[in-house]
Amino acid sequence: MDTTINPPLTKAPRMSSKPAAAPFQPLLLPELPGRARRNAAALPTGFFYQRDLISAEEEAALIAEIAKLPLKNFQFHGYEGNRRVFSFGYRYDYTRRAVEPADAVPEFLEPVREQVAAFAGREAGEFRQILASEYAHGAAIGWHRDKPEFGIVAGVSLAAPAVLRLRRRVGDRWERVSQLVEPRSAYILSGEARHDWEHSIVEQAVLRYSLTFRMLANQHRDGA
Ligand SMILES: O=C(O)CCC(=O)C(=O)O
The pLDDT, as a whole number, for residue 206 is: 94
Q: How many domains does the chain have?
A: 1
Range of the domain at 80: 34-216
Domain-located, residue 24: no
Largest CA distance in the chain: 49
Domain-located, residue 221: no
The pLDDT, as a whole number, for residue 188 is: 96
Q: How far is the CA of 155 from the centre of ligand 1 (A)?
A: 7
The pLDDT, as a whole number, for residue 37 is: 40
- CATH of residue 139: 2.60.120.590
Tell me the CA distances in angstroms from 150 to 7, 33, 181, 194, one per residue in order. 12, 32, 22, 10
3-class secondary structure, 44: coil
How does pLDDT run across 108-137, given as a tens digit for each residue? Answer: 999 999 999 999 999 999 999 999 999 999
Domain-located, residue 222: no
Q: How far is the CA of 60 from the centre of ligand 1 (A)?
A: 20
CB atoms within 10 A of CB 78: 7
Domain-located, residue 6: no
Taking the C-alpha atoms of residue 112 and residue 106, their distance in angstroms, rounded to an integer, is 11
Domain-located, residue 223: no
**What value, to the nearest 5°, has the Cα angle with vertex 25 and ends 159 and 137?**
25
For residue 157, the ligand 1 atom closest to its alpha carbon is 3
Domain-located, residue 7: no
| Rounded CA Rg of the chain | 17
The pLDDT, as a whole number, for residue 134 is: 97
For residue 181, the ligand 1 atom closest to its alpha carbon is 3
What mean pLDDT is predicted for residues 9-24? 51
Q: How far is the CA of 212 from the centre of ligand 1 (A)?
A: 6
Would you say 118 and 17 are in contact if contact means Cβ atoms under 8 Å apart? yes
Domain-located, residue 19: no
Domain-located, residue 146: yes
3-class secondary structure, 112: helix
Percent of the chain with pLDDT over 70: 79
